[in-house]
Amino acid sequence: MRRRADTIGTMALKSPLQIFVRIGALKRFHALREKTRALPVHVAWDRRRTDRRTASSGAPSDRRQGDRRADPPFTWTTADFVVVQEPEDQTD
Protein backbone atom coordinates (compact mmCIF):
# COMPACT_ATOMS: atom_id res chain seq x y z
CA MET A 1 0.00 0.00 0.00
CA ARG A 2 1.38 3.40 -0.98
CA ARG A 3 1.06 6.46 1.23
CA ARG A 4 0.37 9.90 -0.04
CA ALA A 5 3.46 12.12 0.04
CA ASP A 6 1.76 14.90 2.00
CA THR A 7 0.95 12.61 4.95
CA ILE A 8 4.33 10.96 5.41
CA GLY A 9 5.85 13.85 7.37
CA THR A 10 2.98 14.11 9.81
CA MET A 11 2.76 10.37 10.38
CA ALA A 12 6.32 10.23 11.70
CA LEU A 13 5.41 12.64 14.50
CA LYS A 14 3.48 10.57 17.05
CA SER A 15 2.46 13.39 19.33
CA PRO A 16 2.08 17.06 18.35
CA LEU A 17 4.61 19.69 19.30
CA GLN A 18 3.86 22.86 21.21
CA ILE A 19 5.93 26.01 21.02
CA PHE A 20 5.59 28.43 23.91
CA VAL A 21 6.73 32.00 23.23
CA ARG A 22 7.79 34.47 25.91
CA ILE A 23 5.19 37.17 26.49
CA GLY A 24 6.11 40.33 24.61
CA ALA A 25 8.05 38.64 21.79
CA LEU A 26 5.48 39.65 19.16
CA LYS A 27 7.68 39.27 16.09
CA ARG A 28 8.87 35.83 17.20
CA PHE A 29 5.29 34.69 17.91
CA HIS A 30 3.95 35.78 14.53
CA ALA A 31 6.95 34.36 12.64
CA LEU A 32 6.60 30.96 14.34
CA ARG A 33 2.84 30.86 13.69
CA GLU A 34 3.38 31.66 10.02
CA LYS A 35 6.23 29.16 9.51
CA THR A 36 4.45 26.28 11.27
CA ARG A 37 1.01 26.83 9.77
CA ALA A 38 1.09 23.58 7.71
CA LEU A 39 2.74 21.52 10.45
CA PRO A 40 1.23 19.67 13.43
CA VAL A 41 2.52 22.37 15.80
CA HIS A 42 0.62 24.58 18.22
CA VAL A 43 2.17 27.98 18.95
CA ALA A 44 1.00 29.69 22.15
CA TRP A 45 2.04 32.42 24.55
CA ASP A 46 3.73 31.43 27.80
CA ARG A 47 1.10 32.49 30.33
CA ARG A 48 3.37 32.60 33.36
CA ARG A 49 3.92 36.08 34.77
CA THR A 50 6.33 35.15 37.56
CA ASP A 51 8.24 32.14 38.80
CA ARG A 52 5.92 30.29 41.19
CA ARG A 53 8.79 28.80 43.15
CA THR A 54 10.64 31.92 44.19
CA ALA A 55 9.79 31.68 47.88
CA SER A 56 11.08 28.72 49.82
CA SER A 57 8.00 27.54 51.66
CA GLY A 58 8.61 23.80 51.83
CA ALA A 59 6.55 21.52 53.98
CA PRO A 60 8.12 20.32 57.26
CA SER A 61 8.49 16.80 55.85
CA ASP A 62 10.21 18.07 52.68
CA ARG A 63 13.50 16.14 52.49
CA ARG A 64 14.84 17.68 49.31
CA GLN A 65 18.21 19.34 49.77
CA GLY A 66 18.08 21.76 46.86
CA ASP A 67 16.26 22.99 43.82
CA ARG A 68 15.80 20.15 41.33
CA ARG A 69 14.78 22.29 38.38
CA ALA A 70 17.07 22.34 35.37
CA ASP A 71 18.19 25.46 33.55
CA PRO A 72 15.82 26.56 30.78
CA PRO A 73 16.70 25.46 27.23
CA PHE A 74 18.98 27.78 25.28
CA THR A 75 16.13 28.73 22.92
CA TRP A 76 14.26 30.29 25.84
CA THR A 77 17.06 32.67 26.74
CA THR A 78 18.32 33.41 23.23
CA ALA A 79 15.20 33.21 21.06
CA ASP A 80 12.28 33.68 23.49
CA PHE A 81 10.62 30.31 22.85
CA VAL A 82 10.71 26.67 23.94
CA VAL A 83 9.56 23.54 22.07
CA VAL A 84 7.62 20.91 24.03
CA GLN A 85 6.48 17.52 22.81
CA GLU A 86 3.23 16.34 24.34
CA PRO A 87 3.43 12.93 25.99
CA GLU A 88 1.87 10.08 24.07
CA ASP A 89 -1.39 8.59 25.30
CA GLN A 90 -0.71 5.65 27.60
CA THR A 91 -4.04 3.99 26.85
CA ASP A 92 -3.68 0.57 25.27
Walk along the chain (92 residues) and give the pLDDT tens digit of each residue.
444 444 444 445 556 899 999 999 999 999 999 999 999 999 999 988 776 655 555 555 666 666 677 888 999 999 999 999 877 766 65
Query: What domain range includes position 33?
Result: 12-49+71-92
- 66 inside domain: no
Cα angle 69, 72, 76 (rounded to 5 degrees) comes to: 160
Full-model pTM: 0.62
| Count of the separate structural domains present in the chain | 1
Contact 15, 85 (CB under 8 A): yes
Q: Which 8-state DSSP code applies to residue 37?
A: T
- 62 inside domain: no
Give the whole-angstrom CA distance, residue 74 versus residue 80: 9
- 64 inside domain: no
- 4 inside domain: no
Q: Who contacts 14 (Cβ-Cβ below 8 Å, separation ≥6)?
A: 88
Contact 20, 81 (CB under 8 A): yes
